[in-house]
């Protein structure tokens, strides 16, 4: 059996959640879950500066420019967090930074606990961290460093006492001093190596900078080789215009370009939402049937006796036969037989029904050639199959209960042993002289 995440979540009587990037997905939350999205203002005004995207012709030119930009900001002490879309891109950018002589850390979501510590210190003076989307997720990047991780790393083996308290106070003072220096350098600089398909992921990356009123900076670097921009194609007006207006190594940045990228993201988001919505629509057909089957199955499993359920599934002609069979057996034995027959038939036919629906779904799109809506045809056919399955279950249960013969094997008696006999053979003549009394 299978179920979509959407229908699984909707099984809960109450739904709620909190995230910093739900605003862009508000329509989907309402259409799927009937949940409204409320935007809560930030505790302090956001001082982060979000610069316009910078566009390059090729991936190599873009990475070369990114490496130089990172070197400039790291040199003045500003920490830099670089977000990439894949491990391959992280390692490629790492090679460019090595050529520029920039010390950095690369996180690829392979060692979560260790990488969480590295990300927590990504706000320290001059730190350069390259991370994929999954690396260090859920870790707050604090300017000047993370007190909790520093205490654990530096004072983990020191026992409690005045000496440890003094050391913690010293670390706090160091973090505060370093935090002021990082603020003067401009705060955390978040640099995205390309736009993602979803605006939510871009907003998550931006949101790592400028927390709690701290200063910050964010910028995305793009090229025609990026996955998102490939939806324009190499022969489209957009691609030709970019190639003709940009010299090798030259970069452009404008609000128009950022708007075009955002429009492309909205198209991809809409396509992905349509795919998810279609999956839910097909699963909704099965979900209504799933509720009926699971409710019946739960009743059978929880009931001490399922006589009422059995009577609903057998025909009047079989009542007498069933009652006669029940009278011949112990009550507890009969109840176990009833449960076993019902569960076996229910499970068997439900599995066959799921397989039938999967096969139907694979070919239902062909109805579109007959000017019919596939989802409506799927609903109609699925309902007919479900009705047929319920009828088949009733018939099989009735037939089994009415026709099966329940016989208890009688206890086996020991075979009768023959009377004890003795025989004596004359060793000289070889004749039986058992009865010779002389």
For the entire predicted model, the pTM comes to: 0.65
What does the DSSP 8-state code read for residue 266?
H
| Average confidence (pLDDT) over 122-131 | 88
How long, in residues, is the chain?
438
At residue 193, does pLDDT exceed 60? yes
pLDDT score recorded for residue 269: 82
| Average confidence (pLDDT) over 289-295 | 85
Number of helices (H) and strands (E), helices first, in the chain?
A: 14, 7
pLDDT score recorded for residue 313: 63
Question: Is 196 found in the same domain as 92?
Answer: yes
Enter the tokens of residue 437. 């009394």
Give the ranges where 111-225 is alpha helix by DSSP (H). Answer: 112-120, 147-155, 162-185, 199-206
pLDDT score recorded for residue 190: 92
In a domain, 281, yes or no: no
Question: Is 139 found in the same domain as 73?
Answer: yes
At residue 420, does pLDDT exceed 80? no
Q: Could you tell me which of 260, 216, 269 has the C-alpha nearest to residue 242?
A: 260
DSSP three-state, residue 106: strand
In a domain, 85, yes or no: yes
In a domain, 202, yes or no: yes
**DSSP structure string for 364-390:** GGGGGGGT--HHHHHHHHHHHHHHHHH
Enter the tokens of residue 434. 């058992």
Q: Are 76 and 108 within 8 A, CB to CB?
A: no
In the chain, the largest separation of any two C-alpha atoms, in whole Å, equals: 137
Question: Is 59 found in the same domain as 30?
Answer: no
| Average confidence (pLDDT) over 5-28 | 87
What CATH number is attached to the domain comprising 223? 3.40.50.300
Question: Is 197 found in the same domain as 67?
Answer: yes
Question: Is 154 found in the same domain as 32?
Answer: no
Residue with the larger pLDDT of the pair 204 and 427? 204
When mean pLDDT is compared across 141-145, 289-293, 387-391, 418-422, the lowest value belongs to 418-422
Q: Are 251 and 65 within 8 A, CB to CB?
A: yes
DSSP three-state, residue 132: strand
Domain residues for the domain of 64 are 49-253
Q: Structurally, how many domains does the chain consist of?
A: 3
pLDDT category at 242 given cuts 50, 70, 90 is low
Q: Could you tell me which of 128, 148, 143, 151 has the C-alpha nearest to residue 212?
A: 143
pLDDT category at 318 given cuts 50, 70, 90 is low
């Amino acid at each position: 059996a299978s179920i979509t995440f959407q229908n699984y979540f909707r099984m809960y009587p109450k739904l709620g959640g909190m995230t910093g990037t739900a605003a862009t997905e508000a329509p989907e939350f309402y259409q799927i879950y009937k949940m409204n999205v409320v935007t809560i203002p930030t505790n302090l005004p956001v001082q982060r500066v979000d610069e316009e995207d910078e566009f390059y012709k090729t991936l190599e030119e873009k990475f070369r420019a990114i490496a130089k930009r990172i070197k400039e900001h790291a040199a003045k002490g500003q920490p830099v967090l670089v977000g990439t879309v894949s491990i391959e891109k992280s390692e490629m950018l790492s090679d460019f930074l090595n050529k520029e002589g920039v010390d950095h850390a690369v996180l690829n979501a392979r060692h979560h606990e260790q990488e969480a510590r590295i990300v927590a210190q990504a706000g320290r003076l001059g730190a350069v961290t390259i991370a994929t989307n999954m690396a260090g997720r859920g870790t707050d990047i604090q300017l000047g460093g993370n007190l909790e991780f520093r205490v654990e790393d530096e004072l983990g083996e020191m026992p409690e006492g005045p000496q440890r308290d003094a050391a913690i106070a010293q670390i706090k003072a160091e973090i505060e001093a370093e935090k002021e220096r990082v603020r003067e350098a401009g705060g955390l600089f978040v640099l995205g190596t390309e736009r993602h398909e979803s605006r939510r992921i871009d907003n998550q990356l931006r949101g790592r900078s400028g927390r709690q009123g701290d200063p910050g900076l964010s910028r995305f670097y793009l090229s025609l080789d990026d996955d998102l921009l490939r939806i324009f194609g190499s022969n489209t007006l957009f691609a030709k215009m970019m190639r003709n207006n940009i010299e090798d190594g030259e970069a452009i940045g404008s609000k128009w370009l950022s708007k075009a990228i955002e429009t492309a993201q909205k198209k991809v988001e809409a396509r992905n939402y349509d795919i998810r919505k279609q999956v839910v629509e097909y699963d909704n057909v099965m979900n209504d049937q799933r509720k009926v089957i699971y409710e019946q199955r739960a009743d059978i499993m929880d009931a001490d006796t399922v006589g009422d359920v059995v009577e609903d599934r057998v025909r009047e002609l079989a009542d007498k036969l069933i009652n006669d069979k029940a009278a011949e057996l112990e009550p507890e034995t009969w109840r176990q037989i009833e449960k076993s027959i019902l569960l076996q038939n229910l499970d068997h036919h439900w599995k066959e029904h799921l397989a039938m629906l999967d096969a139907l779904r694979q070919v239902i799109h062909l109805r579109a050639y007959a000017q019919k809506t596939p989802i409506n045809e799927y609903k109609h056919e699925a309902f007919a199959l479900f009705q047929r399955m319920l009828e088949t279950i009733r018939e099989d249960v009735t037939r089994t209960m009415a026709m099966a013969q329940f016989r208890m094997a009688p206890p086996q008696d020991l075979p009768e042993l023959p009377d004890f006999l003795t025989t004596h053979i004359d060793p000289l003549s070889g004749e039986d002289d058992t009865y010779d009394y002389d």
